[in-house]
Structure 1
Amino acid sequence: MNRRHIGALGFMALALSACVEQQQRPVVVMPARGCDTSFLVINRSSQTVAQLHFSHASLNGWGTDQLGANVLPPGRQMSYRAANTGQYDFRVTWANGRTAELRRVNVCVASRITVTNSGLIAN
């Protein structure tokens, strides 16, 4: 072999060794951030919330009252976790019978549903 071939072989060996070194280094993969479906319902209204309903927006109907035998007095809060990711609809009924609804809230983004005298706010 002449010097040019030896030089080319040396360069290729060096290039391959760099590839091998890179392949031997551990690769750190950061886990993807998942959706946290937990949220708070905070009563900032002046009335007691007697019923709270929420359901996935793809479903028809409201399902069961999430407060059950409890109520949510003004200034109090309760924590919940949605069963699935995606858009949810919310409905509250105050003790005086008045209702308010908030539709298509992304529970992966909103972590609080605030009940006000004017209705519901997601943030």
Structure 2
Amino acid sequence: MKAWHLLVAAAVAYVPTTALAAKVEFVNKSSWEIHEIYFSPASQKDWGEDYLGDEVLEKGDSLTLSDVSEGDWDVLVVDEDGDKCEITDVTIDSSDRWVITDKDLLACQANS
């Protein structure tokens, strides 16, 4: 599993009914709130809608999603400062626990 894993659950919007479903727990262990999360199948370039909408994944909060399509996804996360972190080719398996840390967000910031 990659060091940085976060919300690939909006994949549900792209899921064909015959796809295998997964359960994913996302944990924000960073010092920043997560304000926006976007998903795209790894083979597509469109992000779609913000998965969180008006909600915020606060520091220390977790979110569990079920019926997420297994497969490869791209994820875009925007923190409370507006910093963007794009992770490509994230693989969702049948049951995952993904954690985002300060180190992960700062690494994205350094690479942008």
TM-score range, shorter chain: 0.5 to 0.7
TM-score (normalised: structure 2): 0.66
Higher relative contact order (CA 8 A, sep 6+): 2
TM-score (normalised: structure 1): 0.61
**Against the structure 1 CA distance between its residues 53 and 81, is the aligned structure 2 distance closer, same or farther, given a 3 Å change threshold?**
farther
Larger radius of gyration: 1
Shift of 1:93: 0.4
**Matched residue, 1:56:** 41
Choose the corresponding residue for 1:78, options 42, 63, 68.
Answer: 63
For residues 50 and 74 of structure 2, the distance between their equivalents in structure 1, rounded to whole angstroms, comes to 13
**Against the structure 1 CA distance between its residues 86 and 58, is the aligned structure 2 distance closer, same or farther, given a 3 Å change threshold?**
same
Contiguous gaps of at least 5 residues in structure 2: 1-18, 106-112
Q: How many residues align?
A: 87
Normalized per residue, which structure has more strand? Answer: 2
Name the Cα RMSD after superposition: 2.2
Q: Which runs of 4+ in 1 moved over 6 A?
A: none
Residue 103, structure 1, aligned to residue 95, structure 2: no
**Against the structure 1 CA distance between its residues 103 and 63, is the aligned structure 2 distance closer, same or farther, given a 3 Å change threshold?**
same
- CA-to-aligned-CA distance 1:58-110 (integer Å, 9 cap, x gap): 11121111111100100001122465331011121001111112211111267
**Against the structure 1 CA distance between its residues 113 and 62, is the aligned structure 2 distance closer, same or farther, given a 3 Å change threshold?**
farther
Conserved 8 A contact 1:55-1:89: yes
